[in-house]
A and B are shown apart, each in its own frame.
Chain A
Amino acid sequence: MALLSGKRVLVTGSTRGIGRATAELFLAKGAEVILHGRNRSDVDRTIEELGHRDRIAGLTADLARRSETKRLAAEAGEIDILVNCAGIYIEKSIIDSDEAFFDRTIEINLTAGFLLSRSLLPSLRQRQGVIVNVSSDAGLVGYGGSSAYAASKGAVIGLTKALAVELAPDVRALCICPGPVATDMMENAVKATSDPEAARRQWANFPLLGRVAHPSEIAEAIVFAASPAASFATGSIITIDGGTTAGKRV
């Protein structure tokens, strides 16, 4: 029997990037996966691509809108595993970060995960469930030019610990902190710079391993954290960052 058969998983932001790779791996491990994306067409396309039609469903919600986040929670129903993966990353200086930008970053990266956790608690408690939040190495070490993002991701780490402390022993809560990952989100951030090639090189040189991660390398950690293999792990802040938080070259 596959490791996670019979488990019902909601992965937010799962039409692309880390979320999509995570949904794919959960499917491979036998879980029942609820995909989430902002647009119906993206969700339908992802369902088409990932297969396992008997164990996959798709919901849409714009997590910048609170009413939609709450509707997503209601539509997801009872679940065993919640993966809060949806996020936005846009490089912006402090001066350029206006209130709308700050609020949007916090709402999508942090508050949506809290609201989904709170709404889905009854079934998570009942099913001895797991919450896996996707933070970032930027929640642990600073990134100049991404202060709003860092604020949101640092808070996700606090959120995870608070969930772990308060929900033990019923629910485990863990947090994965990826470094740079080859995703559309990162590609968009690279393209937004004045010299994309240089930016791409800079990102690749940032981790000690000298490259950015493949989304599947993050998905492996997320699925492990959610699986019985990690049954004694809660409140864990797991860096999968190619060494960015260990230190840097002089």
Chain B
Amino acid sequence: MIFDYSGKSVLVTGAGRGLGFAIAQAFHAAGATVFLNDRTAEQVDAAIAKAGGGKHLIPAPADLATAQGAALALAPALHHGRLDILVNNAAVNIEKPIEETDDAHWDLHLAVVLKAAFFTTRTALPLLTQSQGSVVNIASELGLQAIADNIAYVSAKHGLIAMTRSMALELAPLNIRLNALCPGTMDTELMQDCAKASGDPDGYYRRFRQYHPLGRLATPQEIAAFVLCLASPAAAFMTGSAVAIDGGSSAGRM
């Protein structure tokens, strides 16, 4: 184990599956108490069972697209009395051309990606101030560049990176660090959903493998490992950064 998180507590939003689940698992394996957030108690309970259960995996269900979401997600950590790390990972990513991006679709992406990260962080501030903690915002390489048919997601992720920088400056005097991680495409349930929705799953996977110069998709585990690094003392001098871990997709064109 590279990082030791014994005695630390971590809230991971969107931890029911995919990258969020991998992040929760990695922190748990490193000794942390992990609060797992996702939209419903059923999703969270299933994730906790899948991760092996135990007293260090605590449910924190809440729909972060709603106004009360952040307070509900933070309630177990407040009760526990300690939060060292917040990982704003919850996201929604449904591809649509501009003309089909209706108000509800636009609003949902902004609410879950951008607004939820802002208010979860804001609500966590008293605990993070106490612990001189760290926030990792899961952005995307689509927070650095755009692709077609994903305007709501691309806009929200760009906003998340800019927001991370400004919040990092404001909270630096409190020694609270914020960084954004910009993963490339991972082979997760979300990817499978997108592939299915495209009508040509094999072609979709092929296109996204080729999109990354390394010629493959990332595993959630290799992205999660980076989250543990950013939240650790190894990154104690790092704040306001946006780090791409994207197989080279934002480096340029092949």
Contacts and interface: CB of A to CB of B under 8 A. Distances in A.
Partners in one complex: yes
Interface of A: 66, 93-95, 97, 99, 102-103, 106, 110-111, 114-115, 117-118, 121, 138-159, 161-167, 235
Give me the 7 closest cross-chain CB pairs, A-B, nearest first.
Answer: A154-B162, A158-B158, A155-B159, A142-B165, A144-B169, A161-B146, A151-B163
Interface stretch (B48-56, B96-104, B204-212): B96-104
Given A106-B114, A144-B169, A162-B151, A155 B158 contact: yes
Contacts of B143: 158
Contacts of A162: 98, 146-148, 150-151, 154-155
Contacts of B148: 162, 165-166
A155 B98 contact: no
B96 to A, nearest CB: 10
B110 A111 contact: yes
Interface in B20-60: none
Nearest to B170: A144
Contacts, number: 139
Interface string B133-172: 0000000001101111111001111111111111111111
Among A115, A145, A151, the most chain B Cβ lie within 10 Å of the Cβ of A151
Contact of A142 (B101, B145, B150, B240): B240
A154 B160 contact: yes
Contacts of A156: 155
Contacts of B151: 114, 159, 162-163, 166
B3 interface: no
Nearest to B114: A151
Nearest to B101: A118
Nearest to A157: B158
19 contacts: A110-B110, A111-B106, A121-B99, A138-B166, A142-B168, A147-B163, A147-B166, A147-B170, A151-B166, A154-B160, A155-B110, A156-B155, A158-B142, A158-B143, A158-B146, A158-B155, A158-B157, A161-B145, A161-B154
Nearest to B102: A118
Interface of B: 67, 97-99, 101, 103, 106-107, 110, 114-115, 118-119, 121-122, 125, 142-143, 145-151, 154-172, 240
Contacts of A157: 158, 162
A147 B166 CA distance: 5
A37 B156 CA distance: 26
Contacts of A158: 142-143, 146, 154-159
Contacts of B169: 142-144
Contact of A147 (B67, B97, B101, B167): B167
Contacts of A93: 170
Given A94-B170, A151-B159, 4 more contacts: A117-B98, A142-B169, A155-B156, A159-B154
Contacts of A235: 146
A94 B146 contact: no
A30 to B, nearest CB: 30
A95 to B, nearest CB: 7
